[in-house]
Amino acid sequence: MRKYWEVSKIYMKTQLVWRADVIFNMFFTIGRILFAYLLWGIIFRSREKIGVFTFHGMLSYYIVSSFLVQLEMSDGISWEIHERIRNGTFSKYMVIPVGIQRYFMAMELGVVLFYILFDLIAAVIWVFVFHIEFVFAGNAFVTLCAVGIAVLGMLFMVQLNFFLGLLTLKYQGIGTFLMIKNNLAALVTGSIVPLALFPEAVVNIMKILPFYYVTYLPAMLFTGMCQNEAVPGLCIAAAWCLMMQGLIQVTWNKYMRKYDGVGI
C-alpha cells in the first residue's frame, strides 16, 4: 500500500504545477452554484416548493452535487490508456512494480485529495455569500452511508474509465463509448436537473444504472432526502463496483495477450 500512497503524493504535488487548473476548477464549482441560484431563484418566485425541494433545499442540493461533480476527475484515465496503447508506450505500466489498475486508482486519489479542499472552500463561500440556509441530514448513519456511496461512486467511475481505455486493445477508437458514457452520466447523475423532478417511472429506471449512485443519491442523502435509499444504495453501488471489476478482469485476460506495443 505504501508504494501506491507514494503515487498519490506524486500526483498531489503535480497539481501544484498547474495552478491555473485549480483556479478554473473553483470557478466551475462556483459557476454551477451561481447558475442554480439564478435559475431556481426565478422559478421559486411564484411558489414555495417544487417537488420535494424548497428554494434553500434546492440550492443545498446543487452545492453538494457540484462539489461531487468537480471531484470526479477520472475522464483522463480513458484517454491516457487509449493514447498509450495506440502509440505503443503502454508497456511502461507493465514493467513498473505496481498493479496497473491500482496505479491509476492511486493517481485519481492524489488528484481528488488535492482538489477536495479547494472545491469545499468554493462551496462554503457561496453558502455565506447568498445567505443560504443550508439543509443537511441530521442523521449520522445516513451521512455515513452518503459518504460511502459517494466513495463507491467515484471508484466505479475510475473502474469504468479504466475499462473504456482498455477497449482500445480491440477497437481503433473509443470516442463513441466515451460520448455515450458522458451523455448518460450528465443525465442520470442529476448534475443538471435533480432526478426527483422526473416522473417516478423514469426515476425507477434510472435507479438500475450505476450513475444514479455517483452524484444524485449522495447529494440527496447529504441534504436529508431519500433516507430510505441509504442502505440499499450502498449495497447497489458496491454491487456495481464488483461487477465492473469482474468485467475489467475478463477484458484484460482476453485482450492483453494480443498487445504487442513497444517502447517504455
* Per-residue model confidence as pLDDT tens digits over 44-93: 887 888 877 888 888 888 888 888 887 787 888 888 888 888 887 787 77
Residue 112 has pLDDT above 90, yes or no: no
pLDDT per position as a tens digit, 211-240: 999 999 999 999 888 889 999 999 999 999
DSSP-derived secondary structure for 181-194: HHHHHHHHT-SSS-
pLDDT at 121 over 80: no
Residue environment code for 5-24, b if the CB has 16+ CB neighbours within 10 A, otherwise e: eebbeebbeebeeeeeebee
Query: Given a cut of 70, is residue 264 above it in pLDDT?
Result: no
Mean pLDDT of 13-28: 71
Chain centroid to CA 28: 15
CA distance linking residue 75 with residue 86, whole number of Å:
17
Backbone phi, then psi, for 50, in 5-degree steps? -125, 115
Residue 19: predicted pLDDT = 65
Looking at mean pLDDT, say which of 15-19, 26-30, 64-68 comes out highest.
Answer: 64-68
110-124, 135-149, 156-170: which has the minimum mean pLDDT?
A: 110-124
* pLDDT grade for 263, boundaries at 50, 70 and 90: very low
Closest of 204, 213, 230 to residue 137, by C-alpha: 230
Within the chain, what is the greatest distance between any pair of CA atoms?
A: 64
| pTM, to two decimals | 0.86
Burial class (CB in 10 A: 0-12, 13-18, 19+), 201: exposed
Q: For residues 67 and 116, give the distance between their C-alpha atoms in angstroms, rounded to a whole number.
A: 8
Cβ-count burial of 211 within 10 angstroms (0-12 exposed, 13-18 middle, 19+ buried)?
buried
56, three cell numbers: 434553500
